A and B are shown apart, each in its own frame.
Chain A
Amino acid sequence: MVLARATKLHKSYSLGKTKVSVLRGVNLEVNEGEMLAITGSSGCGKSTLLHILGALDAPDQGTVSFAGEDLFAAGTWRRDAVRNRDVGFVFQFYHLLPEFNVLENVLMPRMVGTSTLDWMSSRKSAIAKAGEILGTVGLKDRLKHRPKELSGGERQRVAIARAIMNEPRFLLADEPTGNLDAKMGKGIMDCLRSLNQKGQTIVLVTHDPLIAKQADRQVRLVDGRIEP
């Protein structure tokens, strides 16, 4: 079953007076439960495609449907809600909030999607769930640590825990091992692989063929198009 479908996506950026076309009519389908790797050279538009799939960026042309719903025909508030409930992002540079500890960072998506009143009643269960997820990524004893007190691999595992906190249907990982050494990178990939085996749909952007090989399916982006 197709979870997300991108159709004729176009996206360009302005660099001064020059207009650079990054995506030129990309068509892509992501099936539920699969782990898809998007590869390509640096600057070919992999991350842009990932951001558009996750409703973090908007295409100039084309459509993205998620679970049958046209994301960009819906309003901003709807896309924000989808991003909160149905999409989890894992970034190359982790992007954790430095003022908050590990537990708080993981709880953040739940807090964003919950009103103050609901939070009062669901706080305990949310904390228990965050603790459980952090246990599965091997960080049970680091709950109260700030991001700066963690290694790169640990930070990325916190980012993964945060991304799956709301049990999203769609996990988007942008070069998740790009900032880590081989050993830590392997740990992160094992973690993602394990999530995928439990049914999590994952789209992975990487320029590393070894990482891409671990995915169920690979697509290559060349000159703004998916290579046939």
Chain B
Amino acid sequence: MYKLFLTFRYLISKWVAVFSVLSVWLCVAMVLIVFSVMDGFLDNIKQHSRGLLGDIIIDNKTLQGFPYYDEFSVYLKEQMPGEIDVVTPVIYSYGIMREPRTKFTQPVRIVAIDFDAYCEVNDFYDSLYYERYYPNTTSLGPVQIPVAGVDSKGKPFLPQELEEAHQKYLKNRDESKVDKTDFDETNYNSPHGVGYFFNEYGTPAMEGDPLPGIVIGTDVAYSRNKEGQYDRGLQRGTKIILTILPLTSGGNIAENPIPVAMRNVDDSRTKVYEIDKVCVYVDFKLFQEYLSMGSLELVDGTYSKPRASQLLVSLTKGQDYNALQPKIEEVWAEFLGTLAGNVTPIDARLLETVGVDTWETRQQAFIQAVEKEKVLVTILFAIISIVAIVLIGVVFYMIVLQKTRDIGIIKSLGATSAGVAMIFIMYGAIIGVIGGILGILTGTTVVANINELQSWLASLNPKMQVWSPEVYTFDRIPSVVKPMVIFAVFCMAVLTSTLGALVPALKAAWVWPVKTLRYE
């Protein structure tokens, strides 16, 4: 009984214990905040990385791609009808994007997609900006320029098709999800909202030559301000020239670079800067021809097989992509077996390097880099925690030195050495529990309000803006508090505090009462 009694009495009567609680408190809060931000960052990266891929990716990692993708798509669905949902081909290439009006040029990664299937296989649809506010108006097919005019009351008014689409959005929109900084519906030429050409003297109309549509990665063309808002300088329908370099199946340049005139129909923001900064999305069939990856007549009069860079596969609900990846690999091997003897040597070479990956293994390098950063941060904070242990150790050592005589008295009353050690070990554990609880409360409160806190700091002094949306992938500080992390951090707090108290506790246990009681 005396152990509990003495522990609590020392706890409330020793001011020096407050420093131990404070150090544990701050350490726990700090670790929790850092872990939550790192976890949030990692989760966002994972979520968005998957967004533009499918569950399963099939490719040979070359620019010239591989043939028989269409036949395999059909074969795969036949072999695994219950597991495969959508299979869609993608072509990757590189080009130069030029905006003729401003002469602005930029190297881009071309992603040629079948728009509808690509939207089904991943989260691409959700990343589209204009499509969100004007549903079903984004298309990669030939499009004209939508020009806003004014109605009889002088209010800006878009062509009927777009106005109707916007009414649909307004009818179905979820007020809680509306990002006011993202869209200004009162002004078609808002610096941070939608951008449409506007004729203040005319009526709304679709003008200009119909040109293939191009969806631009948001960060390719636009930059963000400090509030994280994009300045959409290119109006919807702006003419874009995309210069491409076709490759033969042997990997040689097929012909001179081809400039393709297109219209900006939308922009895609996956929230992964590395994707949004370089990718533009175009129509698969059109660019398959432009990039010489379609069916071409060969010198012997036969036709080459069309090629795609990649096949993206989405699985039906509830399927485990890790479990199905080997099975799809087997189906691919079977499929190759059915082709044996009927494939040209060049095609055979392209086919033999085709591999089947899950989205996770494909993004592993990127995800692992962030995970390694997390490990690095964990190590840094482990070192800081050691400082906390040392601090607690020093504080307890001081307490033990101050209380040596008391320890002698308690031992003279019959207390065992283990009992005396337990007083200080319990003391350490209680400091860990109190500091841990306070730290978790502080940490979770800070994490829950981290963006508001940052805005407040920035309002005091702009230099205190620690998160720059124009630099980082995400415009808000991502954070997620996981119960397991809270539990682990709390246990670590109690454990480290107890460890900190261990050496002083052992010293207390070794106190020889006669020595301490002989003199005053």
Using a CB–CB distance below 8 Å, which chain A residues touch chain B?
A: 47-48, 51, 54, 56-57, 76-77, 80-85, 89, 91-93, 95-100, 104, 108-109, 111-116, 118-119, 162, 179
Distance (whole angstroms) from the CB of B10 to the closest CB of chain A = 7
Q: Which residues of A contact B415 (CB under 8 A)?
A: 80, 84, 112
Q: Once the chains are docked, how many angstroms separate the CA of A70 from the CA of B463? A: 77
Q: Which residues of A contact B10 (CB under 8 A)?
A: 99
Who on chain A is nearest to B519 by CB?
Answer: A93
**Would B409 and A97 count as touching, CB distance under 8 A?**
yes
Mostly, the B contact residues are helix
Q: Of B413, B417, B518, B519, which contacts A83 at CB under 8 A? A: B413
**Would B4 and A84 count as touching, CB distance under 8 A?**
no
Q: Once the chains are docked, how many angstroms separate the CA of A162 from the CA of B10? A: 20
Given known A-B contacts A99-B9, A119-B1, A109 and B414 have beta carbons under 8 A apart: yes
**Chain B, 402-424, CB within 8 A of any chain A CB:** 405-406, 408-417, 419
Q: Once the chains are docked, how many angstroms separate the CA of A95 from the CA of B520? A: 8
Tell me the count of chain B residues lying within 8 A, CB to CB, of chain A. Answer: 26
Distance (whole angstroms) from the CB of A84 to the closest CB of chain B = 2
Q: Which residues of B contact A56 (CB under 8 A)?
A: 411-412, 513-514, 517
Distance (whole angstroms) from the CB of B403 to the closest CB of chain A = 9
Q: Once the chains are docked, how many angstroms separate the CA of A81 from the CA of B414? A: 6
Q: Once the chains are docked, how many angstroms separate the CA of A57 from the CA of B512? A: 8
**Would B412 and A89 count as touching, CB distance under 8 A?**
yes
Indicate if B13 sits at the interface (CB-CB under 8 A). yes
Q: Once the chains are docked, how many angstroms separate the CA of A101 from the CA of B409? A: 15
Indicate if B2 sits at the interface (CB-CB under 8 A). yes
Indicate if B15 sits at the interface (CB-CB under 8 A). no
**Would A76 and B2 count as touching, CB distance under 8 A?**
no
Q: Of B9, B413, B518, which contacts A47 at CB under 8 A? A: B518
Given known A-B contacts A99-B9, A114-B1, A108 and B410 have beta carbons under 8 A apart: yes
Who on chain B is nearest to A89 by CB?
Answer: B412
Indicate if B5 sits at the interface (CB-CB under 8 A). yes
Q: Of A48, A76, A92, A98, which contacts B417 at CB under 8 A? A: A76
Using a CB–CB distance below 8 Å, which chain B residues touch chain A?
A: 1-2, 4-5, 9-10, 13, 405-406, 408-417, 419, 513-514, 517-520
Q: Once the chains are docked, how many angstroms separate the CA of A162 from the CA of B406? A: 14
Distance (whole angstroms) from the CB of B8 to the closest CB of chain A = 11
Q: Of A77, A96, A108, A109, which contacts B416 at CB under 8 A? A: A77
**Would B2 and A111 count as touching, CB distance under 8 A?**
yes
Q: Which residues of B contact A57 (CB under 8 A)?
A: 514
15 further A-B contacts with Cβ under 8 Å, apart from A47-B518, A92-B520, are: A56-B513, A76-B416, A80-B416, A82-B414, A84-B415, A89-B413, A95-B412, A99-B13, A104-B5, A112-B2, A112-B413, A112-B415, A114-B1, A115-B1, A118-B1
Q: Which residues of B contact A114 (CB under 8 A)?
A: 1
Q: Once the chains are docked, how many angstroms separate the CA of A76 from the CA of B418? A: 11
Given known A-B contacts A56-B514, A95-B405, A116 and B413 have beta carbons under 8 A apart: no
- Inter-chain contact total with CB atoms closer than 8 Å: 73
**Would B517 and A95 count as touching, CB distance under 8 A?**
yes
Distance (whole angstroms) from the CB of A21 to the closest CB of chain B = 17
Q: Once the chains are docked, how many angstroms separate the CA of A104 from the CA of B518? A: 23
**Would B5 and A111 count as touching, CB distance under 8 A?**
yes
Who on chain A is nearest to B520 by CB?
Answer: A93
Q: Which residues of A contact B518 (CB under 8 A)?
A: 47
Q: Which residues of B contact A112 (CB under 8 A)?
A: 1-2, 410, 413-415, 419
Q: Once the chains are docked, how many angstroms separate the CA of A176 from the CA of B301? A: 122
**Would A100 and B9 count as touching, CB distance under 8 A?**
yes
What are 11 sample pairs from A and B whose C-beta atoms fall under 8 A apart? Answer: A48-B514, A56-B411, A76-B417, A80-B416, A81-B414, A83-B414, A91-B517, A95-B405, A95-B408, A108-B410, A111-B5
**Would B1 and A116 count as touching, CB distance under 8 A?**
yes
**Would B514 and A84 count as touching, CB distance under 8 A?**
no
Q: Which residues of B contact A99 (CB under 8 A)?
A: 9-10, 13, 406
Q: Of A51, A104, A108, A111, which contacts B514 at CB under 8 A? A: A51
Q: Which residues of B contact A92 (CB under 8 A)?
A: 520
Q: Which residues of B contact A116 (CB under 8 A)?
A: 1, 4
Q: Which residues of A contact B13 (CB under 8 A)?
A: 99
Q: Which residues of A contact B417 (CB under 8 A)?
A: 76
Q: Which residues of B contact A118 (CB under 8 A)?
A: 1
Q: Of B414, B513, B520, which contacts A85 at CB under 8 A? A: B414
**Would A97 and B406 count as touching, CB distance under 8 A?**
yes
Q: Which residues of B contact A47 (CB under 8 A)?
A: 518
Q: Once the chains are docked, how many angstroms separate the CA of A115 from the CA of B518? A: 29
Q: Which residues of A contact B5 (CB under 8 A)?
A: 104, 111
Q: Once the chains are docked, how many angstroms separate the CA of A111 from the CA of B414? A: 10
Who on chain B is nearest to A77 by CB?
Answer: B416
Who on chain B is nearest to A172 by CB?
Answer: B412
Q: Of A100, A109, A179, which contacts B413 at CB under 8 A? A: A109
Q: Once the chains are docked, how many angstroms separate the CA of A47 from the CA of B515? A: 11
Distance (whole angstroms) from the CB of B158 to the closest CB of chain A = 77
Kindly list the 6 A-B residue pairs having the minimum CB-CB distance in the complex, ordered from nearest.
Answer: A84-B414, A119-B1, A93-B520, A111-B2, A83-B414, A111-B1
Distance (whole angstroms) from the CB of B359 to the closest CB of chain A = 56
Q: Once the chains are docked, how many angstroms separate the CA of A89 from the CA of B4? A: 23
Distance (whole angstroms) from the CB of B245 to the closest CB of chain A = 81
Q: Once the chains are docked, how many angstroms separate the CA of A115 from the CA of B406? A: 20
Q: Of B4, B411, B414, which contacts A113 at CB under 8 A? A: B414
Q: Once the chains are docked, how many angstroms separate the CA of A97 from the CA of B5? A: 12
Q: Once the chains are docked, how many angstroms separate the CA of A2 from the CA of B494? A: 52
Q: Once the chains are docked, how many angstroms separate the CA of A51 from the CA of B514? A: 7
Q: Which residues of B contact A93 (CB under 8 A)?
A: 517, 519-520
Q: Once the chains are docked, how many angstroms separate the CA of A113 from the CA of B417? A: 14
Who on chain A is nearest to B5 by CB?
Answer: A111
Who on chain B is nearest to A57 by CB?
Answer: B514
